[in-house]
Amino acid sequence: MDMSSKNARVRNAPHGDDESQDMPSPAHAPQRVSRQRTEKSAAIADQLLAWYDRERRHLPWRLAPGVTADPYRVWLSEIMLQQTTVKAVIPYFETFTRRWPTVTAMATADLDDILAAWAGLGYYSRARNLHKCAGVVASQYGGKFPDTEAALLALPGVGPYTAAAIAAIGFGLKAVVVDGNVERVVARLNAIETVMPQAKPELRRAAAAITPDLRAGDFAQAMMDLGATICSPRRPSCLMCPISTACMAHKSGIAETLPKRAVKAARPVRRAIAFVALREDGAVLLRRRPPEGLLGGMMEVPSTAWNAELPPAKDALRGAPVRAQWWPVPSEVVHVFTHFRLEVQVYRALVPVDVALHLWAEPARCKFVARRDLHAEALPSLMRKILAHGLEGI
Ligand code: SF4
């Protein structure tokens, strides 16, 4: 840049010029801009809170506006709501709070009972961390959640979003709560066109700028409600939005395009053969998965490894958990995980009551369970689908 010519222009500006008299002095301009921003942010928070007081969703873990909720219920609901819809969570939340009404009750529960009660909600490491976290709160904090964001963040399974949500909603502290809904709303409010995930720090700053000092918990829930019911991903209902007058994306007609996302790579496919062994007395063979990794600690239908390609049927059947006459069940079970799609061919066999398991099936992790008792097992949705497919018609 030619600094000499730039400086020359400044030095040569005429004194007493009308235009220069009307312009704010350089020292005052940033203050005025920042005051305008603060007023705009306060107005957005006020409008949103007024809307929340009128229109908020009534959910089992929420109390009336302005009333600070029970941190245990906030924590439980927030862990359940990760990657899951409100509608799916409600019955699980009610079951959990009925069976384990306090964090201490959950800490003393059997992990198997928690995994079984969690079955169907997905992302099973959350259930294991739930139990671990309850243990830490019971043993290290006397059964009361710590009341700072930093201490909450150190608990098992509690990330920045959940720590901020518990701090704000459960303790009434000022904390910036940013989830996907909030990111979408602030991206649109400020017409931020930076592509995700690079936009995350910018979106966080934008959320922090409008978070009020008081009622931060209600504000966080108001943003969640707005994102879930009005500022929806595909078709935002801007005409019903309480903050539409401040929304830059709405003014520019680009709301539906934000936040901008990079084009996703196609989901890879994995394939497996699952073995549904039905004993003559009506019990089905299940196996517990290793504690770590995907679906860790949950029960499964024994299967081949989940790989890009299926092994030849002959090799796969040699790896079946018991010697039997295995029959393929027509069509396959498809289950979509976040990072891949799984296609499962199901084989089934009727086996005698005294059937011996092959060593490679790891008998110590296996058990036969009566069909009428399967509902009480910690079976993820995928395994329930495989069982339903394999047992159909028998
Ligand atoms: S005006 Fe539309 S795009 Fe903007 S925040 Fe409201 S619903 Fe979202």
Ligand 1 lined by 187 (C-beta under 6 Å) = no
Domain boundary among 261, 289, 322: 261
Neighbours of 376 (CB within 10 A): 13
Ligand 1 pocket, residue 236 CB under 6 Å: yes
Supply the residue whose CA is at minimum distance from atom 1 of ligand 1.
244
| Cα 240 to ligand 1 centroid, rounded to whole Å | 9
Parent domain of 346: 269-391
Element (H, E) at 157: none
Rounded Cα gap, residues 49 and 225, in angstroms: 11
Same domain for 330 and 255? no
Q: What is the mean pLDDT of residues 231-244?
A: 96
Tokens of 60: 């089992």
Q: Is the pLDDT of residue 29 over 70?
A: no
Domain for residue 65, yes or no?
yes
Kindly report the length of the chain: 394
Which residues are part of the catalytic machinery? 78
Q: CA 261, CA 193: separation in Å to the nearest integer?
A: 9
The pLDDT of residue 28: 52
Backbone φ and ψ for 278, nearest 5 degrees, come out as: -105, 120
Listed range (37-46, 89-98, 209-218, 342-351) with the worst mean pLDDT:
37-46
Q: Beta partners for 345? A: 273, 332
Specify the DSSP class assigned to residue 323. -
Same domain, 254 and 135: yes
Q: Check whether residue 175 and residue 276 sit in a common domain.
A: no
Instruction: Choose the final residue of a domain: 261, 293, 308.
Output: 261
Confidence check: pLDDT of 7 > 60: no
Q: How confident is the model at residue 98 (pLDDT cuts 50, 70, 90)?
A: very high
Identify whether residues 157 and 281 lie together within a single domain: no
- Provide the pLDDT for residue 12: 30
In a domain, 24, yes or no: no
Q: How far, in Å, from the CA of 255 to the mean position of ligand 1?
A: 7
pLDDT at 31: 57
Give the pLDDT confidence of 40-65 residue by residue, as tens digits.
889 999 999 999 999 999 999 988 77
Is the Cβ atom of 244 under 6 angstroms away from ligand 1? yes
Domain limit, last residue, from 210, 234, 261 = 261
Residue 23 has pLDDT above 50, yes or no: no
How far apart are the CA of 221 and the centre of ligand 1, in A?
Answer: 16
CA of 213 to the centre of ligand 1 (A): 23
> Atom 4 (ligand 1): residue with closest C-alpha?
247
CB distance 258 to ligand 1 below 6 Å: no
In a domain, 37, yes or no: no
231 lines ligand 1 (CB under 6 A): yes
Residue 278 lies in a domain: yes
159 with 282, same domain: the answer is: no
335: β partners: 342
Q: Identify the CATH number of the domain in which residue 199 sits.
A: 1.10.340.30
Same domain, 279 and 243: no
Q: What's the sign of the alpha-carbon dihedral 124, 218, 152, 96?
A: negative
249 touches ligand 1 (CB under 6 Å): yes
Report percent pLDDT > 90 for the chain: 78
| Pair 321, 301: CB distance under 8 Å | no
Question: Which pLDDT score, from 0 to 100, does residue 137 have?
Answer: 98
pLDDT, residue 319, reads 87
User: Do 203 and 78 share a structural domain?
Assistant: yes
Mean pLDDT of 152-172: 95
Q: Is residue 3 part of a domain?
A: no
Q: Quick one: which atom of ligand 1 is closest to the CA of 236?
A: 7
How does the average pLDDT of the chain come out, rounded? Answer: 89
Q: How many CB atoms lie within 10 A of CB 30?
A: 10
pLDDT at 5 over 50: no
**Among 180, 172, 149, CA closest to 63:** 172
Q: Indicate the number of domains in the chain.
A: 2
The answer, yes or no, to whether residue 153 has pLDDT greater than 60, is yes
Using the predicted structure, report yes or no on whether residue 166 has a pLDDT greater than 90.
yes
Q: Does residue 302 share a domain with residue 206?
A: no
pLDDT in tens, 112-126: 999 999 998 988 889
Q: What is the pLDDT of residue 22?
A: 36
